[in-house]
Amino acid sequence: MEKINKIYGIKAVISDKKANEQPSFLSESETKGVRNFHTTVEGYKATPLVSLDNLAKELGVSKVYVKDESYRFGLNAFKGLGVTYAIAKVLCEKLDVDINSVSFDYFKSPEVAEKIKDMVFVTATDGNHGRAVAWAATQLGCKSIVYMPKDSSLRRLQHIKDAGADASILDVNYDDAVRKSKEKAEEIGGYIVQDTAWEGYEKVPNWICQGYTTMAAEALDQMKLEGVIRPTHVFLQAGVGSFAGGILGYYANIFKAQLPITTIVEPEKAACIYKSALANDDKPHAVTGDLDTIMAGLACGEPNTVTWEILRDFASAYVSCPDYVAARGMRVLANPIGSDEKVVSGESGAVGLGLVSLLMEREELKELKDKLQLDENSVILCFSTEGDTDPDHYKKVVYDGKNPSIFE
The active-site residue, picked from 11, 63, 79, 369, is: 79
Based on CB atoms, which residue is closest to ligand PLP, 241 or 249? 241
- Residue partners of 385: CB distance under 8 A and separation at least 6: 69, 77, 78, 128, 237, 243, 297, 348, 349
The residue (of 164 and 346) whose beta carbon lies closer to ligand PLP is 346
Closest contact distance (angstroms) between CB of 388 and ligand PLP is 11
Instruction: Pick between residue 235 and residue 324 the one whose CB is nearest to ligand PLP.
Output: 235
66 touches 384 (CB < 8 A): yes
Please say which residue, 124 or 217, places its beta carbon nearer to ligand PLP.
Answer: 124
Q: Please, which residue, 326 or 380, has the CB nearer to ligand PLP?
A: 326
Distance CA 92, CA 141 (A): 16
Report the distance separating Cα 139 and Cα 343, nearest Å: 29
Q: Of 68, 126, 195, 388, which one is the catalytic site residue?
A: 126
Q: What are the C-alpha distances in Å from 388 to residues 76, 77, 131?
A: 7, 9, 14
Q: How far is the CB of 389 from ligand PLP (least distance, A)?
A: 7
Amino acid at 122: V
Instruction: Report d(CA 208, CA 403) in Å as an integer.
Output: 33
Nearer to ligand PLP, 175 or 195 (CB): 195
In the sheet where 143-148 sits, what is the strand order? 166-169, 143-148, 120-124, 191-192
- Please tell me the distance from the alpha carbon of residue 90 to that of residue 244, in angstroms, as a whole number: 23
CB of 273 to ligand PLP, least distance (A): 8
Nearer to ligand PLP, 152 or 357 (CB): 152
Say whether 126 is catalytic.
yes
List residues near ligand PLP by CB under 6 A: 77, 126, 128-129, 195, 237-244, 297-298, 300, 348-349, 385-386
Amino acid at 272: C
Closest approach of ligand PLP to the CB of residue 245, in Å: 7
* Known active-site residue 323: no
By annotation, the residues acting in catalysis are 79, 126
